Amino acid sequence: DAGVTQSPTHLIKTRGQHVTLRCSPISGHKSVSWYQQVLGQGPQFIFQYYEKEERGRGNFPDRFSARQFPNYSSELNVNALLLGDSALYLCASSSSLGHREAFFGQGTRLTVV
Amino acid sequence: AQTVTQSQPEMSVQEAETVTLSCTYDTSESDYYLFWYKQPPSRQMILVIRQEAYKQQNATENRFSVNFQKAAKSFSLKISDSQLGDAAMYFCAYRSSQGGSEKLVFGKGTKLTVNP
């Protein structure tokens, strides 16, 4: 079975631009969460979506938004990019059953110049 | 708000030896999950072990085991018979059991080096 897949793997953007990151969860997983991992730090929670509805939001500005589609894939959008948005963006999916463990993708490395 | 603290930025161990990584956390909840994740240079976060707070028995997964001290809010990871492939960043993480939340709160991580 395919794991969590994210695209693209690497991305370079200019300050002020907009970026869209994509995530496909493990088949059968209805929950998708997004995390930002700045170099040398642990991941920080950005959003959780379940059944297309936002279930949680971390302490991030309104420039960050996300959505989940009927097939449970998800997009993370960031507007008006700042240098400080440079980070590894991780997507995780989890089942609504059992221990609801999070399975992570390999992330998208975003560099803002 | 929940917080997770990993006080060891870096640790090293000789191959085949045992190493313990420390983690403390703060929460007012009584029911929650604790996890250890491994992040190798490939960047993908890999679940190593899970502990449910209501279980007193410490979790074990092959060479990996935890020492869960709920009253002390401590959750350390012991790696036995260390292998070169264990070298990675290790993150301790907390997750509430309330309200269907999937939010993980991570520590800053411990970089583990395994010396041959």
Q: What is the DSSP string of A34-63?
A: EEEE-TTS--EEEEEEETTEEEEE-S--TT
Considering only the beta carbons, identify the residue of B37, B52, B103 that sits closest to A45.
Answer: B103
Q: What confidence tens digit (pLDDT) does each residue in B84-109 have?
A: 999 999 999 999 877 667 799 999 99
Q: How many residues does chain A have?
A: 113
**Dihedral sign, CA of A33, A36, A42, A44?**
negative
The one-letter amino acid code at B71 reads A
Report CB contact under 8 Å: B101, A103.
no
Is the dihedral angle over the CA atoms B115, B83, B50, B89 positive or is it negative? positive
Decide if pLDDT at B73 tops 90. yes
pLDDT reported for residue B43: 86
Judged by a CB distance cut-off of 8 A, whether residue B55 touches chain A is: no
Q: Which of B32, B45, B95, B106 to mutate to test the interface with A (most CBs of A within 10 A)?
A: B45
Please write the tens of the pLDDT for every residue from A28-67: 999 999 999 999 899 999 999 998 899 889 999 999 999 9
Q: Is the pLDDT of residue A89 over 80?
A: yes
